[in-house]
DNA sequence: CAGTATCCCTTGGGATACTG
DNA sequence: CAGTATCCCAAGGGATACTG
């Protein structure tokens, strides 16, 4: 497999929301706009370097909107785009299944 | 982060179905029982070593049932457990979102 | 406050050869 | 047919220091 072709739509979605943090970031942004450090404090354990990269990827994938106020001290706000917000259904399904799994399996 | 604690149910689900192949395996098994080589032929590009490991993990997670007929030549069939089958909702949501994403974004 | 720049380490998964 | 055993590599992400 030289090129990792992704053919299936399910795979596309997994590519976009996969990884350690993205779903958590989306989860927090579902409640509204948040600033960078505010997000970092919510996502216990994430480094600002990682948060920075995750947010940029999600911005490129058009899931979130970055609003830089160009103030001193800096102020940048992140919010979900309509596309990002439309992931809510999947997140809810995953939340529900995760609870069931934790209750049923082991 | 010495221990990668997973607190959120959404994260639990992502842990279980994340990775390159699991959703595809589930997708194929939704149509019914399949044998090992049959699965490998369907999942273009996967090596038997990787398929073997993915299936074992999914068996441990109780998503699939492994049925070894103890015949010569060997015959092993894999099918979804009820728990595994209950992921169908999520897969469908992800499929739908993936299609929309591919149509909308870029 | 909101980031970049380096460096490093773990993990997922591929290639290939061998086995009951 | 249905695997296991070795070996290897790239990518994700953590730790830390620095910056506008």
Please report the pLDDT score of residue A105 as a whole number.
84
pLDDT above 90 for A3: no
- The torsion angles phi and psi of A55, rounded to 5 degrees, stand at -65, -40
Contact A23 B45 (CB under 8 A): no
Question: Mean pLDDT across chain B, nearest whole number?
Answer: 93
Taking CB atoms and an 8 Å cut-off, how many pairs form between chains A and B?
107
Cα–Cα distance, B62 to B84 (Å, whole number): 7
Rounded to whole angstroms, how far apart are CA atoms B76 and B84?
Answer: 18
Residue A46 neighbours by CB under 8 Å, 6+ apart:
A21, A40, A54
Longest pairwise C-alpha distance within chain B? 52
Contacts of B101 in chain A (CB under 8 A): 9, 12-13, 16, 83
A51 contacts: CB under 8 Å, gap ≥ 6: A21, A25, A36, A39, A40, A43
Q: How confident is the model at residue B7 (pLDDT cuts 50, 70, 90)?
A: confident
Cα–Cα distance between B39 and B52 in angstroms, integer?
10
- Write the residue in A13, A96, A98 that is nearest to B101 by C-beta: A13
pLDDT score of B106: 66
- What is the distance in angstroms measured between the alpha-carbon CA of B3 and the sugar C1' of C15? 32
Q: State pLDDT tens for residues A38-73.
A: 999 999 999 999 999 999 999 999 999 999 999 999
Interface test mutation site (partner A, options B90, B91, B106, max chain A beta carbons within 10 A) = B90
pLDDT band at residue B83 under the 50/70/90 scheme: very high
Q: Which residues contact A27 (CB under 8 A, 6 or more apart)?
A: A91, B8, B10
Q: Taking CB atoms and an 8 Å cutoff, what residues of chain B touch A82?
A: none
Whether the CB of B6 is below 8 Å from some CB of chain A: the reply is no
The span from the CA of B36 to the CA of A60, in Å, is 39
Determine contact: B30 vs chain A, CB below 8 A.
no
Beta bridge partners of A35: A77
Domains of chain A from N-terminus onward: 9-104 (1.10.10.10)
């Amino acid at each position: 497999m030289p090129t990792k072709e992704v053919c299936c739509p399910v795979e596309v979605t997994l590519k976009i929301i996969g990884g350690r943090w993205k779903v958590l970031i989306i989860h927090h942004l579902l409640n509204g706009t948040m600033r960078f450090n505010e997000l970092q404090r919510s996502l216990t354990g994430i480094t600002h370097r990682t948060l920075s990269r995750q947010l940029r990827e999600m911005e490129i994938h058009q899931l979130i909107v970055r609003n830089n106020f160009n103030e001193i001290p800096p102020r940048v706000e992140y919010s979900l785009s309509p596309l990002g917000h439309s992931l809510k259904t999947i997140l809810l399904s995953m939340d529900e299944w995760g609870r069931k799994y934790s209750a049923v399996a082991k």
